[in-house]
Structure 1
């Protein structure tokens, strides 16, 4: 019997496990992957403050001072304080921070069922029929939402924002990232993130289902644009990428003794498109509620996680959701995007930075 079983050993699951092991709770992490450092993409941009999450500069791929929002005709620069992060090093650091006396792993496990008896979940069962029991269960399975979809905390059918990217030779300012908008991107968006040692990431993403089948080809067309060729040079064919769920703003993450964190309940900020900062915060909020529930032997304490999340994020996410829908609509028009960039030029840097980071 474990105190907590976490299904999913990604960023949300590892952060939660770290916090719970620090509080001396016995945790089992189950994951269908055999290697927790095998990813579909290896870099990300984040506005997080490393010290807020007890992370070191070792996880930083590059420090970014400026965001350039660029359309076909205009550009607006926003002074910023963010990073491009090395995802592998970030996850390695989280793994190394876990107390092995309290955290165990079982990998290559595909969970198929969660069992409920007398208004409480008692175990999860894998595809081979093996059963794992705990006092509290956590779904941290990302977009797969293995448990949250089964119990109705997230709908089974939902839209995804999907992106592809290349690690390329980078020729531009190493302290500046680019957000690329306008009709060239057909309602999608592009990005360029500098890394270390003359490398960078260029990507293209969209929530438009009609564009998803041709993401790689669309990215190749972007690479051929004159203004892009000045910044990056493709020198390999290795494609990386991933998806995040696009749902209404969710506010219910707890059902009895099941707690959900991260993409399993769509906790990526809708406008920033950045998951890690917000998911890490959510995992820490969840850990505090789980700690109280275990110490007080009172599962109703788990609901304080939802309350704290709503206080911190709810109004932010609802505003971000409106902005996301507008951006998706406006980005197909160069005129509207140019108007938005002009607005950015007129506003204070502080307001622009708040909008970009999703911190209204």
Structure 2
């Protein structure tokens, strides 16, 4: 039985980026994931303000360059100029996997964690899978997404979390390939919608909601959106393959450490509340966590893990708290088309730069251009 410096539960965005950084620092890392294929996703694309170079990614991960965001309520449209991307999630993960040093990192798939073993001080000493195979390490990381396999066990996040859930189709696109659309207001079936252009006259159209009462009806509501005249001018549904997934919308958290357990990503609700797109924020959190873990291992001192929480709070806490308040207002406004029309109309009084800071979750900060 091998003993690792770090055992990471979850081979998604957070887990893989963290493993890449730790393997570069020559720490022995084990990644465990319940999926058999790490390149299968519920959603295959996302809109992002990610700075590719900052995280060692090439332009090959981009499904489409975007220069305009169109906010569309029932009667009002606002176009905002901005540089961002529609990302190909599969290619993002391919590049991260290629950056992992296999001399120091081991990946095991098809692993379901059934038991967690701790010592008398409450430190994790091992996780055990469905075949009773034990995996031991000095430090453990929960990067298991909304499952929160370890974070829920130690009480860092509630066992039942509130989720925003969405469905989408890959459709024929009739609009401008450099424009993406965000659809808001009651006319969009009590939730919110998006159109993400892709290459070859294709696009992703999706519908999501925060309301648990209408989650089971998502597909039918998306079909109704597809029949709206303004939407029919932009997309043409030509297949029945539907995809879907969820992101957490829990309260803003500040604690990600419990003894020798470090949590990164959706398992501790690190998606920005107003943005929905988690890559940019989870990547930054994973980098912070990697630095703290590196220091803790080199100094054989768990106190260094606290640097991760401190760095995250300094970078994100105020923005996340403000984003959470904005998210709660949006829940309320999205149920009233007239009110959403008014809000969007008033927003035209503010410059594009301010709107982009809000949409990107970077209140009070300059956004990074490509």
Q: TM-score interval w.r.t. the shorter chain?
A: over 0.9
Return the alpha-carbon distance in structure 1 between the equivalents of residues 316 and 267 of structure 2: 16
Per-residue deviation, 1:186? 3.6
Return the alpha-carbon distance in structure 2 between the equivalents of residues 317 and 186 of structure 1: 27
Asked whether the 8 Å contact 1:161–1:205 carries over to 2, the reply is yes
Per-residue deviation, 1:255? 0.2
Cα deviations across residues 259-313 of structure 1 (Å, max 9, x unaligned)? 0000000000000011110000000000000000001110111011001000000
The alignment partner of 1:24 has SS state of coil
The alignment partner of 1:55 has SS state of coil
The alignment partner of 2:348 has SS state of helix
Partner of 2:115: 113
Partner of 1:303: 306
Partner of 1:253: 256
The alignment partner of 2:35 has SS state of coil
The alignment partner of 1:240 has SS state of strand
Return the alpha-carbon distance in structure 1 between the equivalents of residues 361 and 145 of structure 2: 20
Q: Which runs of 5+ in 1 are unaligned?
A: none
Q: How many residues align?
A: 360
Partner of 1:343: 346
TM-score by length of 2: 0.96
Cα deviations across residues 2-52 of structure 1 (Å, max 9, x unaligned)? 010100000100000011011111100001111101111211111111011
Partner of 1:22: 24
Structure 1 residue ranges, 4+ long, deviating more than 6 angstroms after superposition: none
Return the alpha-carbon distance in structure 2 between the equivalents of residues 79 and 339 of structure 1: 21
Per-residue deviation, 1:128? 2.0
Partner of 2:46: 44
Are 2:15 and 1:4 aligned? Answer: no
Partner of 2:286: 283
- CA root-mean-square deviation: 0.8
Of the structure 1 ranges 52-61 and 107-116, higher mean CA displacement relative to structure 2 is found in 107-116
Return the alpha-carbon distance in structure 1 between the equivalents of residues 111 and 98 of structure 2: 21
TM-score by length of 1: 0.99
Per-residue deviation, 1:127? 2.0
Per-residue deviation, 1:182? 1.1
Are 2:304 and 1:314 aligned? Answer: no
Per-residue deviation, 1:80? 1.0
The alignment partner of 2:306 has SS state of helix
Partner of 1:237: 240
Return the alpha-carbon distance in structure 1 between the equivalents of residues 259 and 116 of structure 2: 13
Cα deviations across residues 71-98 of structure 1 (Å, max 9, x unaligned)? 1111011111110010111111111111
Return the alpha-carbon distance in structure 2 between the equivalents of residues 187 and 214 of structure 1: 11
The alignment partner of 1:346 has SS state of coil
Partner of 2:366: none
Asked whether the 8 Å contact 1:187–1:328 carries over to 2, the reply is no
Asked whether the 8 Å contact 2:113–2:128 carries over to 1, the reply is yes
The alignment partner of 1:154 has SS state of coil
Return the alpha-carbon distance in structure 2 between the equivalents of residues 337 and 24 of structure 1: 52
Asked whether the 8 Å contact 1:185–1:332 carries over to 2, the reply is no
Return the alpha-carbon distance in structure 2 between the equivalents of residues 113 and 308 of structure 1: 31
Q: Which runs of 5+ in 2 are unaligned?
A: 364-370
Return the alpha-carbon distance in structure 2 between the equivalents of residues 126 and 77 of structure 1: 50
